[in-house]
């Protein structure tokens, strides 16, 4: 059994690993010498991984079709209203009385409901109906495999706007929804608005999106051509399974930017048109955008000057589809424990930032140039922590070549699953109880705050803004860094409200006689970014389903 | 979309090296058998679409290398699989004893609701048998896992095993959906008062009291 994959093999394994090892009778030594994989073996495995990605893509497209079908149904539904059908708007007739859906408690006409087989428990002896919308949602949950993975797997939407990379399209889609809902939210507050009883998910597409789309695709066009390139990024690793197959997709990303938020980005960028200087070639973009840098080495001071010029086509992270990118640069492998990390300033609200900033690495010898490389990570600057948006590695010997201006293709964030202190929580909007159900499942690798090497963690959570001012707390798990709570909390709210609210989760260490120690926090909601935003949007888009996801905790304490 | 399907189930075959995982998969996907032994490099998969109660189910079956040196790669595939077949060789007692280790390995790496099944392969070789059918059944009962003896060479019970596992996964899926409906019935620590129901307007018939 391999336990080294999880931890540094030179660090003493924890008790659990040791006890498992003893059961396996494979000995205590973690550092066993096994022959590394040969070149042929690597290639064989890479070929299988590539084949698997084709299957995954077919699957992602199929799930995308299911999702868009459901979205279409939602959009064309007339919305819940008293005494009329949820789906077709038909009013109650004597011969065809309206049925109540047992899932969402809305009324629908007999044409728009299906009979569900009578429930086994005696309480539900009368007939059960389910509206077509709930039935379809349920069917999708089954067909996509979400029932097993506890949240929707990655998908590619079938329409022409959505040929970008998985997350991008998902985000674009959810952003579009969010855009709709926030518009809707405004009309909601107007007195006497006929729309005020409709939750946002039922809103129809605004008719002017087409004109926006045409602007944006024209705008994006000059992009795609310059997006083809060719320069060394870090080698292909076996564990990163997503990037191989996405090249053809990445090239077709013309439309993925064009949706509800494109108008805004255009307005911002029109004053300074992108002037295309001659671009050195690099390898094809894998959908995470590109980065242009300039390298210059000075023999006299043995310093390396790295000028980060600009990035193009970064992925959108926040609600508006924009990001707040900055770059972190490091020369690897680093020497000793001293880390020489430099960062650029943050450029706010853009996917195409102009950094134009030079950073200097000192103490780089000429021999280093041939052995070391520069790693550049692009992060999204966020009040509640940083999310990685992409990375690129370039060998330092590149700076010796004459045009030291390079265009690098960024590859995706290294780990999709967060590491470090993290929290597993499930969100579910229950239309029946009209409340957001938050299940605090577990936490892992929490920092130790007490002198015994443990913490006594508990979680506080509240919704903001919340008219009921509800605050919840979990129980305290004594002396535990990987606590399991599985506790469920309810926040009464409406789906319309939900797209404007944030769920704030803070983890604390219980102490007697002195203030509790702060262990970490997490904000999920409309103003959060990346994974967290997607989790929140999935929860709004697919009510009555549990969406379970790990999130890393940040150590910033906010109110 | 040429061939579409209703569900995609990911299955995984694990077990010691040389027990016949690849042969079982080869028999199921191509209905053929190859006498020579070629050790699997890392991982491989085959696809077959089957029909279960009128639904098209696409099975993506991952075949893993039994060798220890590929363990890092193979364990990475545990998490995504919905069903796992544990294969041992009836002519090799060691491979049977190792099933316990494999189960522990699953508990450590796979998703908690994964469906499992034990296969005792090479049951055509009765002369060389070291593990009796009863022993296999006893182990299966101990872990509450389904068990069947198979032979990839004689095409015995291979189809049955895959169909059974797929059917079990499908049944679990239906059950999960059933459990989530209605969602209000799940027990929780905090439950809401039943005020929602009262807030709904009563029917106009009920309000009409005085004529």
A118 pLDDT band, cuts 50/70/90, is low
ipTM over 0.85: no
Q: At which residue do the structure tokens 């911002």 appear?
A: A268
What residue in A sits closest to B62 (Cα-Cα)? A52
Q: What is the pLDDT of residues A124-152, one digit of tens each?
A: 445 677 788 888 888 888 888 888 888 88
Query: What backbone torsions phi and psi does residue A551 show, to the nearest 5 degrees?
Result: -135, 140
Give the helix ranges, DSSP H, for A348-484: 366-371
Residue B184 confidence (pLDDT) above 50: no
- List of domains in chain B: 7-177 (3.40.50.300)
User: Which is more confidently placed, A418 or A166?
Assistant: A418
User: CB atoms < 10 A from the CB of A492, how many?
Assistant: 17
- Chain A residues close to B4, C-beta within 8 Å: 62
Average pLDDT, chain A: 71
Residue B208 confidence (pLDDT) above 50: no
Q: At which residue do the structure tokens 């097993």 appear?
A: A148
User: Which is more confidently placed, A180 or B117?
Assistant: B117
Strands B7-15 and B83-89: parallel
Ranking A95-99, A259-263, B3-7, B49-53 by mean pLDDT, the lowest is A259-263
- Chain A residues close to B5, C-beta within 8 Å: 62
Contact B111 A48 (CB under 8 A): no
Burial letters for A384-397: b for 16+ Cβ neighbours within 10 Å, e otherwise? bbbbebbbbbbebe
- pLDDT attached to residue A384: 65
Distance from CA of B150 to the nearest CA of A (A): 27
- Chain A residues close to B14, C-beta within 8 Å: none
Kindly state the tokens that stand for B51. 């029909």
Ranking A115-129, A247-261, B77-91, B104-118 by mean pLDDT, the lowest is A247-261
Over its C-alpha atoms, chain B yields an Rg (Å, rounded) of 23
In total, the C-beta contacts within 8 angstroms joining chain A to chain B are 107
- A333 prior amide bond cis, ω within 30: yes
A11 pLDDT band, cuts 50/70/90, is low
Mutation pick from A61, A99, A142, A543 vs chain B, by most beta carbons of B within 10 Å, is: A142
In this complex, which of B41, B173, B201 lies closest to A41 when CB atoms are compared? B41
Residue A352 confidence (pLDDT) above 80: yes
- Chain A residues close to B174, C-beta within 8 Å: 142
Interface residue A53 vs chain B (CB under 8 A) = no
Instruction: Give the A window 372-411 contacts with B, CB below 8 Å.
Output: none
Interface residue A190 vs chain B (CB under 8 A) = no
What residue in B sits closest to A105 (Cα-Cα)? B197
Distance from CA of A77 to the nearest CA of B (A): 21
Distance from CA of A544 to the nearest CA of B (A): 7
User: CB atoms < 10 A from the CB of B31, how many?
Assistant: 11
> Which residues have CB under 8 Å from B8's CB, separation 6+?
A59, A62, A145, B57, B58, B60
- pLDDT attached to residue A534: 83
- Chain B residues close to A145, C-beta within 8 Å: 7-8, 82
- pLDDT attached to residue B119: 94
Kindly state the tokens that stand for A408. 């690098």
- Chain A residues close to B189, C-beta within 8 Å: 487-489
Give the whole-angstrom CA distance, residue A200 versus residue A67.
Answer: 17
What residue in B sits closest to A40 (Cα-Cα)? B41
Rounded to an integer, the average pLDDT of A413-433 is 78
Residue A475 confidence (pLDDT) above 80: yes
- pLDDT attached to residue B46: 93
User: Which is more confidently placed, A454 or A268?
Assistant: A454
User: CB atoms < 10 A from the CB of B153, how many?
Assistant: 17
What residue in A sits closest to B176 (Cα-Cα)? A147
Rounded to an integer, the average pLDDT of A463-490 is 89
């Amino acid at each position: 059994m391999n336990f080294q994959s999880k931890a540094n093999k030179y660090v003493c394994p924890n008790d659990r690993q040791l006890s498992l090892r003893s059961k396996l009778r494979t000995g205590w030594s973690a550092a066993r010498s096994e022959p590394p994989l040969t070149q042929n073996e690597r290639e064989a495995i890479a070929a299988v991984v590539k084949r698997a990605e084709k299957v995954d893509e077919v699957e992602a497209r199929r799930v995308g079709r299911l999702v868009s079908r459901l979205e279409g149904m939602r959009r064309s539904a007339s919305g819940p209203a008293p005494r009329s059908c949820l789906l077709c708007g038909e009013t109650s007739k004597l011969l065809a009385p309206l049925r109540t859906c047992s899932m969402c408690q809305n009324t629908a006409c007999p044409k728009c409901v299906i009979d569900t087989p009578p429930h086994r428990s005696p309480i539900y002896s009368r007939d059960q109906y389910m509206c077509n919308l709930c039935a379809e949602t349920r069917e999708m949950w089954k067909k996509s495999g979400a029932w097993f993975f506890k949240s929707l797997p990655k998908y590619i939407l079938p329409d022409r706007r959505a040929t970008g990379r998985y997350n991008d399209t998902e985000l674009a889609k959810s952003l579009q929804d969010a855009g709709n809902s926030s518009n809707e939210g405004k009309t909601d507050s107007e007195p006497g608005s006929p729309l005020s009883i409709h939750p946002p998910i039922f809103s129809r597409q605004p008719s002017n999106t087409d004109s926006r789309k045409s602007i944006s695709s024209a705008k994006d066009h000059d992009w795609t051509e310059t997006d083809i390139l060719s320069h060394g990024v870090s080698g292909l690793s076996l564990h990163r399974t997503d990037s191989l197959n996405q090249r053809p997709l990445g090239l077709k990303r013309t439309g993925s930017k064009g949706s509800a938020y494109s108008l805004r980005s255009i307005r911002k960028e029109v004053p300074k048109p992108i002037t295309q200087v001659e671009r050195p070639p690099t390898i094809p973009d894998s959908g995470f955008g590109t980065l242009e840098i300039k390298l210059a080495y000075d023999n006299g001071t043995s310093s390396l000057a790295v000028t980060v010029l600009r990035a193009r086509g970064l992925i959108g992270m926040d609600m508006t589809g924009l990001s707040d990118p900055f770059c972190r640069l490091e020369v690897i492998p680093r020497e000793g424990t001293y880390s020489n990390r430099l960062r650029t300033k943050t450029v706010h609200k853009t996917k195409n930032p102009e950094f134009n900033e030079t950073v200097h690495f000192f103490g780089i010898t000429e021999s280093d140039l041939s052995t070391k490389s520069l790693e550049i990570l692009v992060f999204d600057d966020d009040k509640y922590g940083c999310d990685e948006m992409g990375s690129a590695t370039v060998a330092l010997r590149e700076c010796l070549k004459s045009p030291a201006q390079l265009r690098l293709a960024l590859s995706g964030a290294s780990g999709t699953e967060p590491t470090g202190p993290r929290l597993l929580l499930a969100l579910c909007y229950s239309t029946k109880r009209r409340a957001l159900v938050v299940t605090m499942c577990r936490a892992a690798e929490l920092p130790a705050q007490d002198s015994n090497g443990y913490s006594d963690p508990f979680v506080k959570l509240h919704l903001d803004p919340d008219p009921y001012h509800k605050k919840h707390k979990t129980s305290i798990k004594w002396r535990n860094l990987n606590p399991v709570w599985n506790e469920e909390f309810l926040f009464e709210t409406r789906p319309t409200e939900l797209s404007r609210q944030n769920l704030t989760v803070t983890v604390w260490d219980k102490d007697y006689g002195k203030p509790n120690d702060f262990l970490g926090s997490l904000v999920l909601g409309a103003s959060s970014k990346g994974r967290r935003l997607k989790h929140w949007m999935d929860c709004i888009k697919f009510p009555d389903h549990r969406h379970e996801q790990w999130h890393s905790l940040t150590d910033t304490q906010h109110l | 979309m040429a061939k579409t399907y209703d569900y995609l189930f990911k299955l995984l075959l694990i077990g010691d090296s040389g027990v016949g995982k690849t042969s079982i998969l080869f028999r199921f996907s191509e209905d053929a058998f190859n006498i020579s032994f070629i050790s699997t490099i890392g991982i491989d998969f085959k696809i077959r679409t089957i029909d279960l109660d009128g639904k098209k189910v696409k099975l993506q079956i991952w075949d893993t290398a039994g060798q220890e040196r590929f363990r890092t790669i193979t364990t990475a595939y545990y998490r995504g699989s919905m069903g796992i077949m544990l294969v041992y060789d009836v002519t090799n007692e060691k491979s049977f004893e190792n099933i316990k280790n494999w189960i522990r390995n699953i508990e450590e790496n796979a998703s908690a609701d994964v469906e499992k099944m034990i296969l005792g392969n090479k049951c055509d070789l009765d002369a060389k048998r070291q593990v009796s059918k009863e022993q296999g059944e006893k182990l299966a009962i101990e872990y509450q896992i389904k068990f069947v003896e198979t032979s990839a060479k004689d095409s015995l019970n291979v189809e049955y095993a895959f169909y059974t596992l797929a059917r079990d996964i499908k049944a679990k899926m239906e059950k999960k959906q059933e459990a989530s409906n209605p969602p209000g019935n799940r027990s929780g620590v905090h439950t809401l008062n039943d005020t929602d129901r009262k807030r709904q307007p009563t029917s106009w018939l009920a309000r009409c009291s005085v004529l």
